[in-house]
Amino acid sequence: MGEENVPASIVQFAQLDKLLNLGRANSLWPMTFGLACCAIEMMCTGGSRFDISRFGAEVFRPSPRQSDVMIVAGTINKKLELAVKTLYDQMPEPKWVIAMGNCAICGGPFKVKENYNVVEGADKLFPVDVYIPGCPPRPEALLEGIMMLEEKITGKRRWPRVQPG
Amino acid sequence: MDQVVLTNIIYVTIFLIGALLFGFGPIIIVKLLSPSSHTRQTAGRTDQLIECGMEPIGSAWIRFGIIYYLYALIFLAFDVDVLFLFPVAVAYNSPELGLRDFYEILLFVAILSLAIVYAWRKGVFTWEKKTYLHQ
Amino acid sequence: MGLVEQTQAALAELFPEPALPAAPAGEGDQEAPPRQAGVVVTDAARHGSHLDVLCRPDQVVAVARVLDQDGYFLEAISGVDWLDKGQFEVIYDYNRLGGEHCRVTVRALVDRNEPAVPTISGVFPAADWHERETFDFYGIRFQDHPNLIRILLPEDADFHPLRKDYMP
Amino acid sequence: MTVPVHLRHDETFVLNLGPQHPATHGVLRVKLTMDGEYIVKAEPVLGYIHRMHEKMAENGTFAQFMPNTARMDYLHALAFNHGWALVVERAAGIEVPERAEYIRVITVELNRIASHLLWWAAFLLDLGGFTPLLYAFDDREKIIDLLERVTGSRLTYCYLRFGGVYNDIDDEFIAGTRDFIKRLRGRMPRLYHDLVTHNIILIKRIKDIGFVTAEQCRRYGATGPVARGSGIDYDIRKNEPYSVYPEFDFDVPVFTEGDSMARYMVRMHEMEQSMRIIEQALDKLPGGPVMGKAPKVLKPEAGYYYSAVETARGSLGHRLVCNGDKNPYKLKLRSPTFSNLSLFGEVAEGMLLADALAFMGSLDLVIPEIDR
């Protein structure tokens, strides 16, 4: 069962929680938080060809108060660090974080010895639930990331996992 | 208190209770089922106003232009106008509503729309570009 | 090429002492004898700029005014840190906006310990941000710039990243 | 007609059009001093996505910087590759075979159309229309598939090499490009112009909004569609010809009104011109190698080099200083949006907030290109 890092609620019934998690998993409202190149791939995923709305995640909310998942799509640098933490705080529970792209995972192409300005990874700021590698990751990778987050929330996988090869 | 009045009162109270439940129900349910009242913090800024991630500069409690007040007045005029038109709408297809009543309603709406004409002439609806002469 | 000669003539009055004969293009500063301030025609196909002007920092505003009258626009301001020679260099690139093409590169050398160059944001407002960025990266102070603060780095940063001796 | 207003300081409040805002296409922050709906002073604050490209250029070899160029302006990444390849080829004196030049022009123009399509979708998203995004992205995906066949990546291309291109284009790419052009030409009048350009809501939102005069463009150094929207006939492909552009005949759309509608129309016509260039380049595509001979480790002669390239947003300049060893000694990237945005403060004064956002959309900003 997922949600080990989402705090518990006052009333807890097993079946009711399963139903709630199913509802949460199928209506993840991401926050428009496109920083750099990965934001363009996120927009392509929102487009009609890759169609993120098949997973109920096409409602990109601008304000953190109404969003469930923060997709960190791009590079966080030292000037933006406080703003990112503020946005994370302002999101109500239950909230999840998807680190999209190498920059959000570990600083990516900017993790060099002369790095004076890039925060090397979003998990230095807050707990991250799903990492999507790629620079930028393909829209299919973002959809796979959302499916992994859904599996983390409900414990069941919606689509059979594609075996490589 | 004969039977008909009593049943009407019961209908209205049931309707009232339903409305209240419909209003406060979700708030209570969410309080019970949502993961927790507090959210996870990293910079302790949960209750800060939303301003695109930035600290809001100064307070927003300042004197606004009068123009927004005029918009509110016009809305109020037409809100009350609609309030009076509801009973008319209910009784519209009854036979005794003659042509004379129709003209009365028309006159009533016309008088109220004078507020719009007054606001129009006062230039409430024109939003010109301004140049600011900095002292 | 009427425009290049015309601009060269306009700029020539600023440098009364005769400029050295045009050093063959592409030759580094180190080998050539230290070049006097002056205007040199360079091969545009290779270097991208038609005129290369070396001037003292205090002449920068005068050159900017001359080029402003001729209808040039400021393309970019870049700083260079010559660590071994103990000098900063500020490169101004001017270009024509439409019509015949002619790019003028103005270079000014400044001592590395207290680098100060007069600002040209009065003549070209485009210089405002470019100068703030050069100050941000190199620490070159632009005298009487309207608001010389950092533009790209966080306000509380206390280092100048593009200096050759800076390593985080 | 503008209304002069005297203002006491306590009647204004400061609003952050902050880093996380749907209309800023990234992390641009504008500090707005507001008087009700009107903007008294607008001051863009940059640096929220500054990623040290110039410092990395100094610590890596010339070839190692090519992937960086695509991460600055990822919408027109091939033009940035082209600019960097051009300045290094000039510095090191490397020859590029004819066929490689043609392939460069074809892919750069395809990328320009993709960039304009995305600008068009995002601009109308700012103004509140969501459906144009769907069919603009549909067309854009066709281009991305074509470019992915040749370059291997969807967005951040690293396709150009000093002296040529990474791999050759095949007949399927050429046939696909011709189909794409026929398809877009078929859709352009109906879907793009009748439905959107002549739409009264769009005309009301962007006509006579955000006037930029030619003198303002010159003083602030604005280039590209912003300058061509204010009557300045300046396109680097025509004024400072590079690569094989002189062999194609295409005209440069110039409008003189200088408002957001003019900039909008410039970009729409530019898409048509890019298609004309691609067709002529496909017809005249020569045979031969796609990779000239280039030394493994580049050590260009010491000196100052500058190259200017026309990207979808304006003139991209590479100011390169070499001192003879294998790393660039200093590289300054003159990004077009950096100067285009610098005139925002002066033009947006006295504007309504909604019009200022429409004006910012018509400037076509890509923030990592501003912050570098």
**Cβ neighbours of residue D75 under 8 Å, at least 6 residues apart?**
A40, D114, D115, D118, D119, D312, D366
Q: Looking at the partner chain, which of A31, A75, A112 has a beta carbon nearest the beta carbon of D56? A: A112
Which chain A residues contact residue C153 at CB under 8 A?
79, 117
State how far the Cα of D268 lies from the Cα of D316, in Å rounded to an integer: 21
D-chain residue closest to A120, CA distance: D51
The overall average pLDDT reported for chain A is 88
Does the pLDDT of residue B12 top 90, yes or no? yes
Whether residue D285 contacts residue D99, with contact meaning beta carbons closer than 8 Å, is answered with yes
Pairs across A and C, CB distance < 8 A: 12
What is the amino acid identity at position C136?
D
State how far the Cα of C52 lies from the Cα of C93, in Å rounded to an integer: 10
pLDDT digits (tens, 9 = 90+) for B72-100: 888 888 888 899 899 888 888 888 888 88
Cα distances (Å, whole numbers) of residue C111 to C12, C86, C165, D330, D356 = 25, 7, 16, 18, 43
**Bridge partner residues of A69 (DSSP):** A30, A96
Gap from B40 CA to chain A (nearest CA, Å): 7
Question: Best of D321, D325, D330 to disrupt the C interface by mutation (most C CBs within 10 Å)?
Answer: D330
Q: Looking at the partner chain, which of C91, C98, C152 has a beta carbon nearest the beta carbon of D47? A: C152
Would you place residue A1 in the very low, low, confident or very high pLDDT band (cuts 50, 70, 90)?
very low
Could you tell me the two tokens for A75? 């590079």
Which chain C residues contact residue D254 at CB under 8 A?
none
Would you place residue A155 in the very low, low, confident or very high pLDDT band (cuts 50, 70, 90)?
confident
Chain B contact present for A19, CB below 8 A: no
pLDDT digits (tens, 9 = 90+) for A23-34: 999 999 999 888
User: Per the CB < 8 Å rule, is C153 touching A113?
Assistant: no
Question: Best of A31, A32, A35, A37 to disrupt the D interface by mutation (most D CBs within 10 Å)?
Answer: A37
D-chain residue closest to A76, CA distance: D49
State how far the Cα of D270 lies from the Cα of D313, in Å rounded to an integer: 11
Task: Provide the percentage of residues in chain D whose pLDDT is more than 90.
Answer: 81
Would you place residue D98 in the very low, low, confident or very high pLDDT band (cuts 50, 70, 90)?
very high
State how far the Cα of C33 lies from the Cα of C65, in Å rounded to an integer: 29
For D274, the enclosing helix (H) or strand (E) is helix D260-283
Task: Provide the percentage of residues in chain A whose pLDDT is more than 70.
Answer: 97
Does the pLDDT of residue A150 top 70, yes or no? yes
A-chain residue closest to B39, CA distance: A93
Chain A contact present for B27, CB below 8 A: no
The predicted structure's pLDDT at residue B1: 66
Q: Do chains B and D touch (3 or more CB pairs under 8 A)?
A: yes
User: Per the CB < 8 Å rule, is A117 touching D52?
Assistant: yes
Chain B contact present for A6, CB below 8 A: yes
Does the pLDDT of residue C32 top 50, yes or no? no
The predicted structure's pLDDT at residue C24: 42
Which chain D residues contact residue C79 at CB under 8 A?
330, 332
Q: What is the ipTM of this complex?
A: 0.88
Which chain C residues contact residue D90 at CB under 8 A?
45-48
Whether residue D267 contacts residue D123, with contact meaning beta carbons closer than 8 Å, is answered with no
**Cβ neighbours of residue D296 under 8 Å, at least 6 residues apart?**
none
Does the pLDDT of residue C28 top 60, yes or no? no
D9 against D152, higher pLDDT: D152
What is the amino acid identity at position B87?
P
Would you place residue D9 in the very low, low, confident or very high pLDDT band (cuts 50, 70, 90)?
low
C16 against D108, higher pLDDT: D108
DSSP string, C87-110: EEEEEEEEEESSSS---EEEEEEE
Segment D22-31 shows an average pLDDT of 85
What is the amino acid identity at position B66?
I
For D238, the enclosing helix (H) or strand (E) is helix D236-239
State how far the Cα of B127 lies from the Cα of B112, in Å rounded to an integer: 24
pLDDT digits (tens, 9 = 90+) for D254-304: 999 999 999 999 999 999 999 999 999 999 999 999 998 888 888 999 999
Which letter, b or e, does each residue of C81-118 get, where b requires 16 or more Cβ atoms within 10 Å of its Cβ? bbeeeeebbbbbbbbbbbeebbbbbbbbbbebeebebb
DSSP string, D152-166: S-SSS---EETTEES
- The subunits that touch chain D, with at least 3 C-beta pairs less than 8 Å apart, are A, B, C
DSSP string, D74-105: GGGHHHHHHHHHHHHHHHHT----HHHHHHHH
- All structural domains of chain D, each given as residue ranges with its CATH number in brackets, are 5-50+94-297+340-371 (1.10.645.10)
Does the pLDDT of residue C30 top 50, yes or no? no
D70 against A165, higher pLDDT: D70
C-chain residue closest to D47, CA distance: C152
State how far the Cα of A15 lies from the Cα of B114, in Å rounded to an integer: 60
The predicted structure's pLDDT at residue C123: 92
Would you place residue B135 in the very low, low, confident or very high pLDDT band (cuts 50, 70, 90)?
low
Whether residue D309 contacts residue C100, with contact meaning beta carbons closer than 8 Å, is answered with no
Task: Provide the percentage of residues in chain C whose pLDDT is more than 70.
Answer: 87
Q: Do chains B and C touch (3 or more CB pairs under 8 A)?
A: no
State how far the Cα of D54 lies from the Cα of C153, in Å rounded to an integer: 13
Does the pLDDT of residue C31 top 70, yes or no? no
Phi, psi of A131 (to 5 degrees): -105, 130
For C115, the enclosing helix (H) or strand (E) is none
Instruction: Count CA within 13 A, CB hemisphere, residue D160.
Output: 33
The overall average pLDDT reported for chain C is 84
State how far the Cα of D271 lies from the Cα of D257, in Å rounded to an integer: 20
For C78, the enclosing helix (H) or strand (E) is strand C72-82
Would you place residue C34 in the very low, low, confident or very high pLDDT band (cuts 50, 70, 90)?
low
Computed on alpha carbons and rounded to an integer, the radius of gyration of chain A in Å comes to 16
Chain A contact present for C18, CB below 8 A: no
What is the amino acid identity at position B124?
V
Cα distances (Å, whole numbers) of residue B81 to B69, C54, C167 = 18, 77, 72
Would you place residue C1 in the very low, low, confident or very high pLDDT band (cuts 50, 70, 90)?
low
User: Per the CB < 8 Å rule, is B132 touching D2?
Assistant: no
What is the amino acid identity at position D67?
P
State how far the Cα of A29 lies from the Cα of A55, in Å rounded to an integer: 10
The predicted structure's pLDDT at residue D62: 93
Q: Looking at the partner chain, which of B31, B38, B43 has a beta carbon nearest the beta carbon of A85? A: B43
Does the pLDDT of residue A100 top 90, yes or no? yes
Segment D101-128 shows an average pLDDT of 94
Whether residue D53 contacts residue A117, with contact meaning beta carbons closer than 8 Å, is answered with no
Chain C contact present for D73, CB below 8 A: no
Question: Best of A88, A96, A128 to disrupt the B interface by mutation (most B CBs within 10 Å)?
Answer: A88
The predicted structure's pLDDT at residue B41: 83
Whether residue C103 contacts residue D242, with contact meaning beta carbons closer than 8 Å, is answered with no
Segment D109-137 shows an average pLDDT of 93
The predicted structure's pLDDT at residue D1: 63
Question: Best of A33, A40, A48, A138 to disrupt the D interface by mutation (most D CBs within 10 Å)?
Answer: A40
Cα distances (Å, whole numbers) of residue D358 to C13, C64, D194, D205, D363 = 47, 34, 20, 7, 9
Three-state secondary structure readout of B20-33? HHHHHHHHHHHHHH
Q: Looking at the partner chain, which of D18, D19, D155 has a beta carbon nearest the beta carbon of A40? A: D155
User: Per the CB < 8 Å rule, is D50 touching C152?
Assistant: yes
Gap from A82 CA to chain C (nearest CA, Å): 11
Does the pLDDT of residue A138 top 80, yes or no? yes
Task: Map residue D307 onto helix, strand or coil.
Answer: strand
For residue D87, which of D293, D300, D294 has the smallest C-alpha distance?
Answer: D300
Does the pLDDT of residue C20 top 50, yes or no? no
- The subunits that touch chain A, with at least 3 C-beta pairs less than 8 Å apart, are B, C, D
A119-133, B34-48, C76-90: which range is least confident on average?
A: B34-48
Which letter, b or e, does each residue of C147-167 get, where b requires 16 or more Cβ atoms within 10 Å of its Cβ? ebebbbbbeebeebbbbeebe
Q: pTM for this one?
A: 0.91
A-chain residue closest to C160, CA distance: A116
Q: Looking at the partner chain, which of A44, A62, A135 has a beta carbon nearest the beta carbon of D156? A: A135
Strands (E), chain D: 2-6, 13-17, 29-35, 38-45, 160-161, 164-165, 303-311, 314-322, 330-334
Three-state secondary structure readout of chain A? CCCCCCCCCCCCCHHHHHHHHHHHHCCCCEECCECCHHHHHHHHHHCCCCCHHHHCCCCCECCHHHCCEEEEECCCECCCHHHHHHHHHHCCCCCEEEEECHHHHHCHHHCCCCCCCECCCHHHCCCCCEEECCCCCCHHHHHHHHHHHHHHHHCCCCCCCCCCC
Hey, which residues 191-230 in chain D have their CB within 8 Å of chain C? 217-221, 223, 227
Whether residue D252 contacts residue D235, with contact meaning beta carbons closer than 8 Å, is answered with yes
Does the pLDDT of residue A2 top 60, yes or no? no
The predicted structure's pLDDT at residue C23: 42
What would you measure as the largest C-alpha separation in chain B, in angstroms? 76
